[in-house]
Each structure stands twice: as structure tokens, then as C-alpha cells.
């Protein structure tokens, strides 16, 4: 299969290795599930990741989204997915205020996993850039990219902000788990200009929810002496 990207990578800060990125298919399903299982075992906070079931991966790979993976010596070490969601009452578009007839313009940025021994190589960022390029080349019907992130998942929060995604909501999802809901409007080509900016500590959910309800958006994560703050802006 055609390689989308080729480069070098370090495993646990050792010697560089060659790696490549390609689209994933149903033939890779067992490898995808295996990588996710290894990620889950490595997590201290199991609730920081909302894993996908084998059936959900199959749904994406059967034409309901995109998946790309990074390989070293033909072994999958990381993957990233986009999902075309079902339109139902749990749709993230409803959480960010879209109308029902706009929901078909939404695609989800789904799970992103990198094996622990290959972290620190900015693979999440590389795969994010590549999968969005693939989306733009293959589809033009989507305007909004949405996703959820656990409030404790700092690496994933950083990943979303680096991509220019913004927090539009903070609420319980997946049976009572608190999640940030991010969105990126693909029609916006210029960086936003914030007329007002404020900083809220990451564990102050009540204040964040109040400001989001007033039209503020979270746009950056800031570490102050080990304490995480989210920068909120209003246009």
C-alpha cells in the first residue's frame, strides 16, 4: 500500500529507526486492537481514555471515517482515526449548538494512540496533520471537526490546542464522565482575534461551564508551576 509519509523515529530515546505512515484497512484490525490494549495497560488513569470497541473500529474501517497508522518494520506503533458519527441525541454537534440540518457536516476526531516506547517523537502531531490532509483530499462535505477529551488527559488537551481546536462545552458524557468538547471550523482560515481573555484553573469546572455558557471558548493550556490553567477568550 502507498505510504503517506516516511521518516525516522526513536524508540525509548535509543537509536533512530525508519517508520512510515499508511492508511489502515480491515486487514489491520487485530493490530489496532492490540495497540489499544497495550495503551490501556500503560495508563495510570484508565478514565483518561475512552477506548473503542472492535466493532467501532470495524465501523470506521468499513467506510465510515478514516484511519492511518505508523509502522516500524511492518509493526503498527501508532494510529489515529476520524469517524463519521451517527446522527442521534448524543451527537457532539448538538453539544456545541449546531442545528440538526448542520450535523451532517460534522466529523469526529476519534481516538489517537501511540505505544509508550515511541512517545516523545511528536507522533500524535504528525498523524494529526496527515489525517487532516487525507480528509481534505478525499472529502469536502465536512465543515466541523469535533471530539471529546477527558479533563485529566493533559497530553490530549495539548494535542487539540496545537491543532487549533477550541473548547466549546464541558459536560458529562459516556455515562457521567466529565469531558471537554472541542471543535474546529475548517472554513476558518485565519487565527481568531480574542477581544477578551481570562485564565481559569483546570479543575474549576463550575467557572469554566459558566463562561462557556456566556460564549467564551477555551483556546490554550498553560502550566504555571505545575498547575494547569486554560486560557479562555471571547471574540
Instruction: Write down the domain spans for the chain.
Output: 5-188, 190-235
User: What whole-number distance in Å separates Cα of residue 56 and Cα of residue 64?
Assistant: 10
SS3 call for 39:
helix
Q: Strand runs (DSSP E) across 84-164, as ranges?
A: 106-114, 144-150
Predicted local confidence at residue 189, as pLDDT: 84
SS3 call for 152:
coil
The 3-state secondary structure of 46-77 reads HHHCCCCCHHHHHHHHCCCEEEEEEEECCEEE
Whole-model pTM: value is 0.90
| Cell numbers linked to 50 | 475512552
Predicted local confidence at residue 149, as pLDDT: 94
Predicted local confidence at residue 43, as pLDDT: 81
Q: Which residues of the chain have pLDDT under 70?
A: 46-48
Q: CATH code for 5-188?
A: 3.40.630.30
Predicted local confidence at residue 187, as pLDDT: 92
pLDDT digits (tens, 9 = 90+) for 129-142: 999 999 999 888 99
pLDDT digits (tens, 9 = 90+) for 87-140: 999 999 999 999 999 999 999 999 899 999 999 899 999 999 999 999 999 888
Predicted local confidence at residue 47, as pLDDT: 64
Amino acid at each position: 500500500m502507498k505510504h503517506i509519509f516516511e521518516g525516522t523515529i526513536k524508540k525509548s530515546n535509543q537509536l533512530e529507526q525508519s517508520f512510515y505512515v499508511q492508511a489502515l484497512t480491515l486487514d489491520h484490525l487485530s493490530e489496532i486492537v492490540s495497540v489499544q490494549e497495550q495503551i490501556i495497560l500503560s495508563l495510570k488513569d484508565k478514565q483518561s481514555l475512552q477506548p473503542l470497541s472492535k466493532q467501532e473500529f470495524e465501523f470506521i474501517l468499513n467506510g465510515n471515517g478514516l484511519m492511518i497508522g505508523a509502522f516500524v518494520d511492518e509493526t503498527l506503533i501508532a494510529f489515529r482515526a476520524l469517524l463519521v458519527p451517527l446522527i442521534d441525541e448524543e451527537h457532539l454537534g448538538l453539544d456545541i449548538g449546531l442545528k440538526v440540518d448542520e450535523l451532517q457536516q460534522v466529523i469526529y476526531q476519534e481516538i489517537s494512540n501511540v505505544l509508550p516506547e515511541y512517545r516523545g517523537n511528536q507522533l500524535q502531531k504528525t498523524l494529526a496533520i496527515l489525517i487532516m490532509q487525507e480528509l481534505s483530499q478525499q472529502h469536502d462535505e465536512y465543515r466541523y471537526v469535533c471530539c471529546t477529551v477527558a479533563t485529566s488527559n493533559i497530553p490530549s488537551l495539548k494535542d487539540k490546542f496545537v491543532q487549533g481546536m477550541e473548547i466549546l462545552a464541558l459536560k458529562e458524557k459516556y455515562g457521567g464522565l466529565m469531558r471537554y468538547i472541542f471543535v474546529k471550523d475548517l472554513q476558518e482560515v485565519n487565527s481568531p482575534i480574542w477581544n477578551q481573555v481570562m485564565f481559569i484553573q483546570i479543575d474549576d469546572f463550575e467557572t469554566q461551564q459558566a463562561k462557556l455558557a456566556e460564549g467564551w471558548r477555551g483556546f490554550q493550556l498553560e502550566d504555571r508551576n505545575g498547575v494547569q490553567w486554560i486560557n479562555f477568550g471571547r471574540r
